[in-house]
Amino acid sequence: MTGNKDFDLFKINEDHEALREAVRAVAEDKIAPHAAEVDEKSEFPQAALKALVASDFHAPHIAEEYDGVGADALATCIVIEEVARVCASSSLIPAVNKLGTMPVILAASDELKSTYLPPVAKGDAMFSYGLSEREAGSDTASMRCRAKADGDFYVLNGQKSWITNAGISQYYTVLAVTDPDGDRGRNISAFVVEKSDEGFSFGEKERKLGIKGSPTRELHFEGTRIPADRMIGAPGEGLKIALRTLDHTRVTIGAQAVGIAQGALDYALGYVKERKQFGKAIAEFQGLQFMIADMAMKLEAARQMVYVAAAKSERGDDDLPFFGAAAKCFASDVAMEVTTDAVQLLGGAGYVRDHPVERMMRDAKITQIYEGTNQIQRMVMARQVLKGI
């Protein structure tokens, strides 16, 4: 990992700080009041979507030429971080819009970009990502979903699992095997599938530990005919495109993890300053101060790592695979630790739903799992280190 020799790995400018203030205001005013109910009822955060679309924070990464605001990767991370600070489920609106559209941005034809990016940028549609299957999670190359050529169409059969915002999104990037006899990993292609396509349906909503406001469902394909010109990139390039996508979007999961952890720390700080035991605020006890110091230190280290990775994503640096994996892995581990400690700082109060830290702890867990488990991230990092990148 060579880094940038002039050490200008990233720079927070006035626009970024203004953006943070604007997103935080929207999040606290329009999203936070609904966060507990969204979790309790496992309902999609419609109020958050409305607020994010109204402020152009729902898909800030889309370029201006496609009717977007053209936010850079760091700005997009700031949006996700600030929304996750109050509601992790809501932060998946901008995060998954980026995940779903990134293959299109990286590899699609101009026609596909012009067709599918503007509706997302305008807030008329959302875009999800279909890579994993029941028996093809970390081992994505073993997927069984098939797309068979049929004249000017491909016919999809199979399923995808663990798809975020499934049923809500209008568009889906779907990976499928197009050459069953081809070399493993080089026989997969990527397609855009529309919610209205015949033969495309959804499984039941998963009953989850956290991020309950973001529906997670299976995608089912039964003879789903897709126009051949909806292929993203060339035949057989699908897995390569999918992995390039994850190099960029893992950074956003790091940002989500940082936001969740910051929200938990903020709430815990307010509590320990007010809660009194033995005649004084518990914030005055050194044992708790050491916990708080460690939480803040690790959280800030995670934030800096995410921002560096975001800058590398924006530039397309060669060492992005390492930094993207490292940012996601480290930040999510920190989020799990910080939210757990936040529950501990509140004691019994932290364990009940009257306070948001138990929700934040549950929400933090998934950041260690999706977009590649942290065990897979360590494999990615080790491979990069051994290659000398």
Mind telling me the catalytic residues?
A: 371
CB atoms within 10 A of CB 94: 26
**DSSP states of 222-235 as a string?**
EEEEEEGGGEESST
How far is residue 91 from each of residues 85, 198, 254, 294, 350, measured CA to CA in Å?
A: 9, 30, 12, 25, 23
**CB 88 within 8 Å of CB 211:** yes
> Tokens at residue 99, please?
């995940």
**CB 143 within 8 Å of CB 133:** yes
What phi and psi values does residue 20 have, to the nearest 5 degrees? Answer: -60, -45
The helix/strand/coil state of 14 is helix
* H helices present in the chain, as ranges: 14-26, 32-41, 46-54, 73-84, 88-107, 110-122, 238-274, 286-315, 320-346, 357-366, 374-387
Give me the amino acid identity at 369. Answer: I
Give me the amino acid identity at 365. Answer: K
Please, is 21 exposed, middle or buried when counting C-beta atoms within 10 Å of its C-beta (0-12, 13-18, 19+)? exposed
Q: What is the DSSP letter of 28?
A: I
**CB 202 within 8 Å of CB 219:** yes
The helix/strand/coil state of 258 is helix
Nearest residue to 189 (alpha-carbon basis) of 116, 129, 239: 239
Q: Which residue has the tokens 């995940």?
A: 99
End-to-end CA distance of the chain: 5
Say which residues have a Cβ less than 8 Å from residue 138's Cβ, sequence separation at least 6: 372, 373, 375, 376
What is the C-alpha radius of gyration for the chain, rounded to an integer number of angstroms?
21
